[in-house]
Amino acid sequence: MKIIMLGAPGAGKGTQAKKIAEQYGIPHISTGDIFRANIKGGTELGMKAKSYMDQGQLVPDDVTIGMLLDRISQEDCKGGYVLDGFPRTIPQAESLTEALNGRGEKMDYAVNVDVPDTAIVERMSGRRACLSCGATYHIRYNAPSKENVCDACGQALVLRDDDKPETVQKRLTVYHDQTQPLIEYYQKAGILVTVDGTKDLHDVFADITAVLGA
């Protein structure tokens, strides 16, 4: 099964993508996580991405598209995958569609996690991320067992620089301008599913699996 997660930054794409990946035994591919791993590793790609990410801007398509298409051609993606944070622009979506068409493949679902902007700032300011293994928590809605420590790997949790309120506002503007048009793109393609992302995270997951099937 090949799935795309759509939604504003902080809507819960990553939270649901991890649960989907586990349930269906497919890789969770987050372009944000790939960029952050490259920043941590001090690679050229990481250096290119960092200045855009710090300002709440999108990393340019010419960097992002090749990176993602390369990732989904790897062996572990043969049985499908869940994309989290890609595509974020119409050219990214078109490149993905074209690449899949070229291999005689297609996306199965684009799951739009719908959360109004008013709820996003609270979600983002309460998010705590593990930069070591990519796990995410929320100080109120999905707290780790021990404050500021990752349940999965024991490393310290951080508030991402780009989750600070001033950057979140910028990211929301970028989302509305460049990413929201993808909802119509995938609606026209006939694979859009919209779920109410304001519900409890377990209820959101139940709504998603009701559509995807067991």
18 contact, one of ligand AMP, ligand ADP, none, CB 5-8 Å limit per kind: none
24 binds ligand AMP (CB under 6 A): no
Count Cβ neighbours within 10 Å for each residue of 159-192 and write b for 16 or more, e otherwise: ebebbeeebbeebbebbeebbeebbebbeeeebb
123 binds ligand AMP (CB under 6 A): no
Q: Which of 13, 18, 19, 128 is catalytic?
A: 13
One of 97, 125, 132, 142 touching ligand ADP (CB under 6 A) = 142
One of 86, 137, 186, 205 touching ligand AMP (CB under 6 A) = 86
Nearer to ligand AMP, 12 or 32 (CB): 32
**What region, left, alpha or beta, does residue 94 occupy, with left being phi > 0 and alpha being psi -120 to 50 degrees?**
alpha
Give Cα 30 to chain centroid, integer Å. Answer: 5
**Token reading at 207:** 């709504």
Asked if 103 is an active-site residue, the reply is no
* CB 203 to ligand AMP: min, Å: 23
Nearer to ligand ADP, 170 or 199 (CB): 199
CB 157 within 8 A of CB 149: yes
Element (H, E) at 139: none
Asked if 88 is an active-site residue, the reply is yes
- Surface-to-core class of residue 90, CB atoms within 10 Å of its CB (0-12 exposed, 13-18 middle, 19+ buried): middle
* CB 129 to ligand ADP: min, Å: 8
Nearest-angstrom CA–CA distance, 190 and 108: 9
Q: Residue 15: name the closest of 125, 110, 127 by CA.
A: 127
Binding mask 106-125 for ligand ADP (x = CB under 6 A): -----------------x--
One of 24, 52, 141, 185 touching ligand AMP (CB under 6 A) = 52
CB 133 within 8 A of CB 27: no
Number of residues that this document lists for the chain: 214
One of 59, 111, 172, 182 touching ligand AMP (CB under 6 A) = 59
Could you list the active site residues? Answer: 13, 88, 127, 160, 171
Residues that bind ligand ADP (CB under 6 A): 7, 9-15, 123, 126-127, 136-138, 141-142, 197, 199-201, 204
Residues that bind ligand AMP (CB under 6 A): 9, 30-32, 35, 52-53, 56-59, 64, 85-86, 88, 92, 162, 171
